[in-house]
Amino acid sequence: MGISDATGAANVFGIAGWLYQEPILRSGTMTLLELPATARGADVSVLELCSTFFASQSAPYLNDLRIALADAGMRVPSIAVDGPNISLPDAAARKTHIETVKQWFHVARAIGAEAIRVNSGGALEASGEDLARIVESYRELAVAAEGTGISLLIENHGGASANPANLRRFLEDVGSPWFRSCPDTGNFPDGTWREGVAAMLPYAVSTHIKVYAYADDGVQPYVGHDGLDRTSNLREILRMLRDSGYAGPFCIEAGVEADPTEAARGAIAYVKRLLAELDAA
């Protein structure tokens, strides 16, 4: 399997590539091919990539990316695939989106990534019919995951997946060892973070860490662009991860400083402090 249940090993720190979305997607001052060496400046060896950063899926481009990752000594736990919508009610349109997702399994194989992360789509309060459709889409993708040896991940990334009950249903109903989870510490709305993390923990192989403040109590205040309060307690989430035996990477996706590399450095130091305090308690 591309990613196995990570227990019994020490956690490592990494970067979730979206941390660098401003220089790559907004200002255009960096390319994906430059990202591995730049991220290495944060003293990490794990780097999650984003599909929107890819300039091409051609063999020469992917080969250049594979070399850049190897030169920087980077392990790629997953590619975050954004864009396709596997919840669409129109069957033909949904099939097109699912087939588009499947291409990323092969991209992951080409560059040595272990998994792809695919969003659920749908609404926070999706209907039973909508949820069943999403489950079927994930089931089809889980079969493709097994066939390629690249795992499939779900993240609490808005829409139906931001609802802890929906997450639990997706993971349990798909029921494939190739379908795992990537909890994000800053994405659960309206105080549902504890329930949401608990639903994802049995399947977690990677974690996105969002740091908005170096608070001693671990509280991370954040209101999303949609106006929903996504405040969470990072200290308590880390406690839950530790107590579950989770040993996958902690990938920094948001930090306090404006410069992404410095933001990663600061967030890693802060998370290490919280973990040390938990160990000492």
Could you give the CA distance from residue 24 to residue 3 in angstroms, rounded to a whole number? 27
SS3 22: helix
Q: Is the pLDDT of residue 4 over 60?
A: no
Specify the range with the lowest mean pLDDT, choosing from 23-37, 96-110, 115-129.
Answer: 115-129
What percentage of the chain carries pLDDT values higher than 70?
96
Q: Which of 47, 115, 118, 78 is nearest to 260 (CA)?
A: 47
Residue-wise pLDDT for 54-98, tens only, equals: 999 999 999 999 999 999 999 999 999 999 999 999 999 999 999
Q: Is the pLDDT of residue 5 over 90?
A: no
Q: Is the pLDDT of residue 124 over 90?
A: no
Q: Is the pLDDT of residue 7 over 90?
A: no
pLDDT band at 270 (very low <50, low <70, confident <90, very high): very high
CB 209 within 8 A of CB 252: yes
Locate 53 and state its tokens: 């950063």
What percentage of the chain carries pLDDT values higher than 90?
92
Q: Which of 149, 79, 78, 152 is nearest to 120 (CA)?
A: 152
Mean pLDDT (whole number) for 255-279: 97
**Topology of domain 13-280, CATH:** TIM Barrel (3.20.20)
Q: Which of 111, 196, 107 is nearest to 154 (CA)?
A: 196
Measured between alpha carbons, how far is residue 217 from residues 83, 112, 209, 213, 232 in Å? Answer: 36, 38, 16, 10, 11
* All structural domains of the chain with their residue ranges: 13-280
Locate 108 and state its tokens: 């992951």
CB 237 within 8 A of CB 197: yes
Q: Is the pLDDT of residue 6 over 50?
A: no
Residue-wise pLDDT for 14-51, tens only, equals: 999 999 999 999 999 999 999 999 999 999 999 999 99
At residue 10, the pLDDT reads 67
In this predicted model, which residue has the larger pLDDT, 281 or 187?
187
Residue-wise pLDDT for 206-241, tens only, equals: 999 999 999 999 999 999 888 899 999 999 999 999
Full-model pTM: 0.94
CB 36 within 8 A of CB 69: yes
